[in-house]
Chains A and B, each alone.
Chain A
Amino acid sequence: MKLVVVAGTPGSGKTSVLLHTIKALIRRENKPAVVKVDCLWTDDDKRFGRLGVPIRVGLAKDMCPDHFTIYNTEPMLKWAEEEGADVLLNETAGLCLRCAPYPDSCLAVCVIDVTTGPNTPLKVGPLLTTADVVVMTKGDIVSQAEREVFRERVLEVNPDSMVIEANGLTGKGSIELAELIENSVETREGMELRYSPPLAICTLCSGEKRVERKYHMGVLRHLDGFMEYKGE
Chain B
Amino acid sequence: MNSTIKLTIVGGIDKTGIEEAVKIVEVNPGDILGIVGPTGSGKSTLIDDIEQLAQGDTPTQRRILINDTEPEMGLRVDPRRKLIAQLSQNMHFLADMTVSEFIQMHARSRGKDPELMHRVIELANRLTGEPIHEDEQLTVLSGGQSRSLMTADIAVISDSPIVLIDEIENAGIKKQEALSLLSGEGKIVVVVTHDPVLALMASRRIVIRNGGMCDIITTSAEEKNMCNRVSEVDDWLMDLREIIRRGDLVEGVA
> A residues engaging B (CB < 8 A)?
114-119, 140-146, 148-149, 151-153, 163-165, 170-172, 174-176
Using A144-B86, A165-B77, A175-B57 as known contacts, say yes or no to A152 and B93 having CB atoms under 8 A apart.
Answer: no
Chain A interface, >50% SS class: helix
Q: In the bound complex, do residue A145 and residue B59 qualify as a contact, i.e. CB atoms below 8 Å apart?
A: no
Interfacial residues, chain B to chain A (CB-CB below 8 A) = 48, 51-52, 57-59, 73, 77, 79, 85-88, 90-91, 93-97, 102, 105-106, 108-110, 150, 153, 157-158
Verify A172–B57 contact, CB threshold 8 A: yes
Instruction: State the CA gap A148–B153 with chains docked (Å).
Output: 12
Chain A positions within 8 Å of B157 at CB level:
145
Taking CB atoms, residues of chain B closer than 8 Å to A119 are 95-97
Given A118-B97, A143-B88, are A149 and B57 also a contact pair (CB < 8 Å)?
no
B93 pairs with A170, CB closer than 8 A: no
B68 to chain A, nearest CB (A): 22
Decide: B51 and A144 in contact? CB cutoff 8 A.
yes
Identify B58's interface contact among A117, A145, A172, CB under 8 A: A172
In the complex, what residues of A have CB within 8 A of residue B88's CB? Answer: 143-144
| Known contacts A144-B86, A144-B158: A117-B94 contact under CB 8 Å | yes
Q: Is the CB of B51 within 8 A of A118?
A: no
A183 shortest CB reach to chain B, Å: 13
Q: What's the Cα separation between A164 and B150 when bound, in Å?
A: 23
Do B77 and A163 touch across chains, with their CB atoms under 8 A apart?
Answer: yes
Residues of B within 8 A of A118 (CB): 95-97, 102, 105
Residues from chain B with Cβ under 8 Å of A163 in the complex:
77
A152 with B109: in contact, given A146-B95, A165-B77, A171-B57 (CB under 8 Å)?
Answer: yes
Nearest CB in chain A to that of B147: its residue: A143
Kindly provide the distance from the CB of A223 to the nearest chain B CB, expressed in whole angstroms.
34
Instruction: Assess whether B59 is in contact with A149, with CB atoms less than 8 Å apart.
Output: no
- Residues of chain A contacted by B93 (CB below 8 angstroms): 142-143, 146
* B108:A170 contact, CB within 8 angstroms: no
A115–B94 CB distance below 8 A: yes
B57 and A145 contact, CB distance less than 8 A: no
In the complex, residue of chain B having the shortest beta-carbon distance to the beta carbon of A139: B52
Q: In whole angstroms, what is the CA distance A83 to B144 when docked? A: 56
Give the chain B neighbours of A142 by CB distance below 8 A: 93-94
Within the complex, the shortest CB–CB distance from B3 to chain A, in Å, comes to 19
The smallest C-beta distance from A13 to any residue of chain B, in angstroms, reads 15
Q: Which of A145, A165, A172, A176 is close to B106, meaning CB atoms less than 8 Å apart?
A: A145
For B90, the closest partner residue in chain A by CB is A141
Question: What is the bound-complex CA distance between A87 and B86, given in angstroms?
Answer: 37
